[in-house]
Amino acid sequence: MHFYLPAHPVLLFLTPAGFPHHKHRRLKMDEAFLTVKNELDTEVVVSWVSEHCYQCLYQQLGVAPAAPSLGQPSSVDFIVSTQHEITLQLNRTPATQELCTLPFHFGEHGNYSLWVKNLNDRSLVNCTLVTDADPANSYIRDIIQCVLLFAEVCMLPNRMMITFTFQELGSPGRTVAPITDNILPPPNNPSKRLRSLDTFRGISLVIMVFVNYGAGRYWFFKHESWNGLTVADLVFPWFVFIMGTSTALSINASLRAGSTRSSLLRKVVWRSLQLFIIGVFIINPNYCQGPLSWANLRIPGVLQRLAWSYLVVACLDLLVDAWWSPGLDILLYWPAWLCVLLLEIIWLCLTFLLPVPNCPTGYLGPGGIGDMGLYANCTGGAAGFIDRWLLGENHIYQTPSSRVIYATDMPYDPEGVLGSISSVLMAYLGLQAGKIILHYRDVHTSIISRFLIWGLILVTVLTKCSRDQGFIPVNKNLWSLSYVTTLACFAFVLLVLVYYTVDVRKWWSGAPFYYPGMNSILVYVGHEVFEEYFPFRWRMANNQSHAEHLTQNLVATSCWVFISYVLYRKKIFWKI
């Protein structure tokens, strides 16, 4: 039996030798106590592996000494993670004979005992896990309380809207400011623009801000360590998608207003460059302490990927429309679709055919302790290799989410070069949604049916409905093809719901998400720059409390919703 010991273990920790009582060590978030009581006359090695860690090596937790005498067990205390189910493995030393394995999901702040004893036949060993003190299980209570707080704060703009209505501004339905795109200029006829697009963008942005601020430090609000999806993995692709939709509508409006294609191309390039530069500044915050250092300047980032995706998709839209006369919403744009598919073929070829030194060709794993530790330095396969070769290790993300479970040591950037090809596909699928809106404007049934058809088409079989065993697993770090198609499917369905409730039936005004959706660049840049300042962050009484973190993060997110509302009332919009 071989064990891999990561340099920075993050899931399980052995307490100091001779640790006598639980009360001497205060548990942190997502931790529980485990006491191993060994009645055997030999030492027992305790190891563990996370249920979310695919094909991973067991990691040694510690050693339970042999019982000092018959009937008197030895006792050793450990601290275990409660984020995911783990499997404990107990081996006899020095022969490393496996005694038992126990899968179990420990509860936060729970107290557990694991008894290891011989049965009547001394060749057989019994392992029994006992709950000594129930876990806190405060997740549901905390979330309900803080969601109610968030709802209360978000209702404030609506109440102020009513006040203004009675004073001087008239009905909010008649005083809606033009729905301006945050990258392209406002349309020629804003009265027919759709509130659902800004609402959709606002939903993505508000969730993104909440997740970036910490989301209460709950594991299910954090990015998945490698394959799979959490709430945090949904919002960025949705933002890329709706950017493509807005691009289609904005370019169409600008052309109808008399702008030339060459002038729009120049604006597209200039805006992409601005987005890229702003993105570099906000992800390298040491500019407050002096000039940026090229030695460790991170180049890829969220706004940088938005800039690239916007540049490619907007250029394709302008150039293709220059060649073809109006026609059907899909057939008209087949040359652009051909370009996008060729880009995706390049992604597939590089991902599965590019030779990567000391790694298997086509490797999609996280490295580290995954794949039984055989490819520890192969994090991301071709995607990681291209970034390290093209940009340099010091210019990409140094602490990827794969470190959390897979204990990887290699830098890896989830906004890297190869994944940017897939983001173009996501943006172009959004642009396709915009084309559907343009070609079937005011024919709601046609728009909704086509959105649903696209969602059905994009339900991919690449994943085999499995997190790890699909042909191409859903992976946010890689921006895999299945990740893009799956999230685009979700985006089409969500856009149908928002479009139907906001623009068709008018059951919902889109508030409060509509307001940050109108000022998305300002809210995104602002939440990154002012993250550490009051009222977005303050010193907490107990920084190991999910409830306090969740309250702080929801208040910070609500502040940005309120700020965007005030700017909306003042008709202040930051457009690039």
Encode 408-465 in three state secondary structure.
CCCCCCCCCHHHHHHHHHHHHHHHHHHHHHHHCCCCHHHHHHHHHHHHHHCCCCCCCC
Together in a domain, 208 and 306: yes
Q: Rounded to two decimals, what is the model's pTM? A: 0.84
3-state helix, strand, coil in the chain (%, to 5): 50, 10, 40
State how many domains the chain has. Answer: 2
Provide φ and ψ at 99, rounded to 5°: -95, -45
In sequence order, what are the residues at sequence separation of 6 or more whose Cβ sits closer than 8 angstroms to the Cβ of residue 24? none
Please give the C-alpha separations between residue 190 and each of 250, 336, 488, 501, in angstroms, as whole numbers. Answer: 10, 27, 27, 20
The whole-number pLDDT of residue 556 equals: 93
Together in a domain, 235 and 109: no
- pLDDT of residue 488 exceeding 90, the answer is yes
pLDDT above 90 covers a percentage of the chain that reads 44
The whole-number pLDDT of residue 121 equals: 64
The whole-number pLDDT of residue 268 equals: 94
Domain-located, residue 149: no
Domain-located, residue 158: no
Long-range contacts of 157-161 (CB under 8 A, 24+ apart): 157/511, 157/512, 157/515, 157/561, 157/562, 157/565, 158/511, 158/512, 160/565, 160/569, 161/511
Domain-located, residue 483: yes
CATH of the domain at 104: 2.60.40
Please give the C-alpha separations between residue 41 and each of 45, 122, 124, 128, in angstroms, as whole numbers. Answer: 13, 11, 13, 17
- pLDDT of residue 478 exceeding 70, the answer is yes
Together in a domain, 107 and 255: no
Q: At 308, which amino acid appears?
A: W
Average pLDDT of 487-513? 93
Together in a domain, 236 and 99: no
Together in a domain, 124 and 219: no
> Which of helix, strand or coil describes residue 91?
strand
Of 94, 111, 136, which residue is a domain's last?
A: 136
Together in a domain, 202 and 69: no
- How many Cβ atoms are within 10 Å of 41's Cβ, its own excluded? 12
Q: Which of 27-31, 150-154, 293-297, 392-396 has the lowest mean pLDDT?
A: 150-154
pLDDT above 70 covers a percentage of the chain that reads 81
Domain-located, residue 16: no
- pLDDT of residue 322 exceeding 60, the answer is no
Average pLDDT of 347-364? 93
- Predicted confidence (pLDDT) per residue in 88-109, tens digit: 999 887 667 788 899 999 988 8
Sheet of 111-118: strand order equals: 13-14, 74-81, 31-38, 111-118, 125-133
Of 136, 151, 173, which residue is a domain's last?
A: 136
Average pLDDT, the chain: 82
The whole-number pLDDT of residue 158 equals: 53
- How many Cβ atoms are within 10 Å of 88's Cβ, its own excluded? 24
Domain-located, residue 19: no
**What is the sign, positive or negative, of the torsion defined by CA atoms of 383, 384, 388, 394?**
positive
Together in a domain, 105 and 212: no
Query: Higher model confidence: residue 68 or residue 477?
Result: 477
For 285-346, the three-class secondary structure string (H helix, E strand, C coil) is: HHHHHCCCCHHHCCCCCHHHHHHHHHHHHHHHHHHHHHHCCCCCCCHHHHHHHHHHHHHHHH
Strands 111-118 and 31-38: parallel
Per-residue confidence band for 480, with pLDDT thresholds at 50, 70 and 90: very high
Domain-located, residue 1: no
- pLDDT of residue 497 exceeding 90, the answer is yes
Per-residue confidence band for 112, with pLDDT thresholds at 50, 70 and 90: very high
- pLDDT of residue 5 exceeding 70, the answer is no
Strands 86-92 and 31-38: unpaired
Q: Quick check: bond before 285 cis, omega within 30?
A: no
Average pLDDT of 444-469? 84
The whole-number pLDDT of residue 498 equals: 95
Together in a domain, 333 and 210: yes
Average pLDDT of 195-224? 91
For 29-85, the three-class secondary structure string (H helix, E strand, C coil) is: CCEEEEEEEECCCCCEEEEEEECCCCCCCCEEEEEECCCCECCECEEEEEEEECCCC
Range of the domain at 75: 31-136
- Predicted confidence (pLDDT) per residue in 153-181, tens digit: 555 555 444 433 333 333 333 333 333 33
* Residue 301 burial by Cβ neighbours in a 10 Å radius (0-12, 13-18, 19+): buried
Bridge partners, 116 (sequence order): 38, 127
> Which of helix, strand or coil describes residue 467?
coil
Q: Which of 87-91, 296-300, 304-308, 367-371 has the lowest mean pLDDT?
A: 296-300
Q: How far apart are CA 394 and CA 400, in angstroms?
A: 13
Q: How far apart are CA 217 and CA 184, in angstroms?
A: 36
- pLDDT of residue 255 exceeding 50, the answer is yes
- pLDDT of residue 562 exceeding 70, the answer is yes
**How far apart are the two ends of the chain, measured CA to CA in Å?**
58
Together in a domain, 232 and 126: no
Together in a domain, 433 and 529: yes
Q: Which residue has the tokens 């963008």?
A: 201
User: Which of 52, 109, 223, 527 is the catalytic position?
Assistant: 223
For the chain, give the longest Cα–Cα distance. 93
8 Å CB contact between 116 and 123: no
Whether 395 is a known active-site residue: answer no
Domain-located, residue 165: no
- pLDDT of residue 9 exceeding 50, the answer is no
Domain-located, residue 540: yes
Together in a domain, 201 and 132: no
Of 107, 136, 165, which residue is a domain's last?
A: 136
The whole-number pLDDT of residue 201 equals: 94
The whole-number pLDDT of residue 192 equals: 62
Together in a domain, 443 and 562: yes
- pLDDT of residue 327 exceeding 50, the answer is no
